[in-house]
Amino acid sequence: MEFSYDDEQNGLREAVSGLLARAYADSEQRRAVVATDPGFDEKTWSRLAEMGVLGLPFAESDGGMGAGPVEVSVVAEEIGRVLAPEPFVEAVVLAGGLVSDLGTDAQRAEVLGALAEGSLVPAFAHAETGTRWEPSARSVTATADGGSWRLTGVKEPVPHGARADVLVVSAQLSDHGASGATRLFLVQGDAEGLTRTAHRNHDGTRSAKVEFAGTPAAPLGEGTGDQTAAIEKALARARVAYGHEALGAMETALTTTAEYLRTRKQFGVTLNKFQALTFRAADMYVSLELARSTVMWATLVVDADGDVVAAADRVRLQTSRASRHIGKEAIQLHGGIGVTAEYSVGHYTSRLTAIDHLLGDGDWALARLAATVDQHETVDPLG
């Protein structure tokens, strides 16, 4: 068991952190970027592509860099650290990950190469109102139409769904004797019968209502078998990557708060003279470091192709608790300024709250872990 990064990984962190520090030197720059569509900076996205970041986890034969989950985790942390709104986890880890896992040679070449180059943004259209955090689709259906397929129904909210050049859509097969199976389809952004309505989220990112009305779609991969397990695994990897994004955000929320306590004066003294406040900051540090340990371990589980789904549940539970604790305390220890949009720290809480709910929150993960708690004597990370 070893938790240190090698020189190349440290180099990657430095490069990404340098690029993002220039793009988001202060929170005003981020506010300006998220004020206009598509809610992230296309130039920063291109620079990330030039650095090779957008193709990191994909095979070199698909146009990627052939790197692993540890490298992905380094980037996600730096994204979170400055609250960069670029959809790294959404487009690269999740949508790109699904294409990488399941796509045909031609689909991988078409989507992943362009994603790595920065010329194509994919999004995963999966959530449906009325259900939550399931790996399967219910209301969007896929119908065979001769040799092709058509989708009908609504996906919402779809992160970056309006900006996306191509959508990876989950749908329930409605006939062909495979009824009930969930499969993935690629839908082009300009497909007929596709209506997308964008809106702004509380954290500055964009989501969309995506409506399909007999929209032509290409099955992702071969065959007509159920792809639910593959979706569950891709979601688990994204949960772990979001864990790293949350770590970066929690760390900044804590350091910003500590800095504020050192400088803000009330009653004639700086706030760090009040033990009632410094003890709470100490507890934030405890939450952060415990979450960091679990998230780093889960990335190693992904790397070793272990039980990724269970490890991701553990990440969701630990980071959900930690990010709520740190996010709420960061605002409270700042006072009123923490609730304003003009100051940075509240935006961290907003983003942490979004991450907590995108792919499953802490209680959701706890219910899953509780269901299996009697099937082992102890949890042993050393295997």
Partner 1 sequence: MRLHLSPEDEAFRDEMRTFFTTQVPQSIRDAVAAHRELTKEQFVEAQRVLNAAELAVPHWPVEWGGRDWTPLQRHIWREEMQLAAVPEPLAFNASMIGPVIATFGSQEQKERFLPATANLDIWWCQGFSEPDAGSDLASLRTTAVRDGDDWVVNGQKTWTTLGQHADWIFCLVRTDPTADKRQRGISLLLFPMDSPGVTLRPIELLDGGFEVNEVFFEDVRVPSENLVGEENHGWDYAKFLLGNERVGIARIGSTKRMLTDAKEHARGITVNGAPLSEDPYLRARIAEIENELLALELTALRVVANSAGGKPHPASSVLKLRGSELQQAATELLVDIAGPLSVASFAGEDSDVPEWAQAATPSYLNYRKVSIYGGSNEVQRTIIAGSILGL
Instruction: Summarize as ranges the residues that interact with partner 1 (CB under 8 A).
Output: 1-6, 9, 70, 254, 258, 261-262, 272, 275, 278-279, 281-283, 285-286, 289-294, 296-297, 299-301, 303-304, 306, 314, 317-318, 366-367, 369-371, 373-374, 377-379, 381-383
In the block, tokens 């859509």 appear at 169
Question: Which residue's CB is nearer to partner 1, number 110 or number 251?
Answer: 251
Task: Report the residue number, 105 or 380, with the smaller CB distance to partner 1.
Answer: 380
* Nearest distance, CB of residue 319 and partner 1, angstroms: 10
Q: Identity (one letter) of the amino acid at 127?
A: A
Q: Which is nearer to partner 1, 341 or 367 (CB)?
A: 367
Residue 263 CB: number of other CB atoms within 10 A? 10
Taking the least distance from each CB to partner 1, the nearer of 179 and 293 is 293
CA 58 to chain centre: 17
Please identify, using beta-carbon distances, which residue of 107 and 256 lies nearer to partner 1: 256
Q: Nearer to partner 1 by C-beta: 177 or 383?
A: 383
Least distance in angstroms from the C-beta of 64 to partner 1: 20
Residue number with CB closer to partner 1 (44 or 73): 73
Which among 245, 212, 240, 40 is positioned nearest to 141, based on CA atoms?
Answer: 212
Q: Hey, how many other C-beta atoms are within 10 angstroms of the C-beta on 362?
A: 18
Phi, psi of 159 (to 5 degrees): -60, 130
Cα distance between residue 164 and residue 198, in whole Å: 11
First to last CA, the chain: 10
**Nearer CB in complex with partner 1: 151/322:** 322
**Closest approach of Cβ 104 to partner 1, in Å?**
32
CA–CA separation, 374 vs 383, rounded Å?
18
For residue 231, give both structure tokens: 């979706």
Q: For residues 100 and 62, is the Cβ–Cβ distance under 8 A?
A: yes
Q: Residue 31: which of 370, 340, 369 has the closest Cα?
A: 340
Nearest distance from C-beta of residue 5 to partner 1, angstroms: 7
Q: Report, in Å, the least distance between residue 267 CB and partner 1.
A: 16
Identify whether the C-beta of residue 295 lies closer than 8 Å to the C-beta of residue 319.
yes
Q: Quote the tokens at residue 274.
A: 């009040």
Q: How far apart are CA 169 and CA 160, in angstroms?
A: 13
> Closest approach of Cβ 304 to partner 1, in Å?
5
**25 phi-psi bin (left φ>0, alpha ψ -120 to 50, beta other):** alpha
CB of 263 to partner 1, least distance (A): 11
Quote the least distance from Cβ 98 to partner 1, whole Å: 24
